[in-house]
Amino acid sequence: MTLEVLKQGAEGRLYLGEFKGESCLIKERFVKKYRHLELDTQITRQRMKAEVKAAGRCLAAGILAPRILHSDLTSHKLYMEYFGSAQTAKQFIQKTVAESTDEQAKQRLEELCTRIGGIIGRMHANNIIHGDLTTSNILINPNPNTSSSYDIIFIDFGLSHYNQATEDKGVDLYVLERALLSTHSEQPYLFEHILAAYRKECGKDEEAVLAKFEEVRARGRKRTMIG
């Protein structure tokens, strides 16, 4: 069967396929020629296993993530739930800014960021570290049965892990802040709303995590200044 390639990135390809009669997304991690074959295989399998575990932990915690239908460690393919009508949060933000007045855009994006921040807070309260928080790794999926008309789904857990360390949670937040500043520099208020909602949901370690985040942020600024 010929698979339809939806996207190709640095880490792999995404295909539209089928598993046991259900339409699905197939994520294939291809071999990195610059790495030793045995090391490449080990890293690839670790990331596939991490993705499966993290998606399962998210769903168990009531956080939306793709259902993993099948994992083939030999061919390096993951078969997962496909959201055909979804767009990334990056696309959603850009479209909202382009098609709305400044005030309308701020209102819609504040709601989006409040929901995203709350979800990340619940992730960290359950010791789930995403590892690559960007607006490209968050899907906005239409759902007319909700008050906001959409669901928020986190994807791409290849760098995720399970850890209660405040350092890892602080780094997760820092990665997201840097991604927002890079991709959505004209909307500097986005992270502020995410962080405000995060504080309410991240659990008993709130102050320790945010203190660690400030440490990580300070180290990042120092590296930037020094070059």
> Is 40 annotated in the active site?
no
Number of Cα atoms under 13 Å in the Cβ half of residue 133: 26
- Among 40, 72, 102, 132, the active-site one is 132
Question: Contacts from 55-64 at CB under 8 Å and sequence distance 24+?
Answer: 55/80, 55/157, 57/126, 57/128, 57/162, 58/123, 58/128, 58/154, 58/157, 61/122, 61/123, 61/126, 61/128, 62/122, 63/119, 63/122, 63/123, 63/126, 63/128, 63/154, 64/151, 64/152, 64/153, 64/154
- For the chain, the first-to-last Cα distance in angstroms comes to 50
For the beta carbon of residue 194, count every other beta carbon within 10 angstroms: 26
Q: Where are the alpha helices (DSSP H) in 100-155?
A: 102-125
Distance between CA atoms of 135 and 191, rounded to whole angstroms? 11
Q: Which of 167, 109, 158 is nearest to 137 (CA)?
A: 158
Supply the residues annotated as catalytic: 132
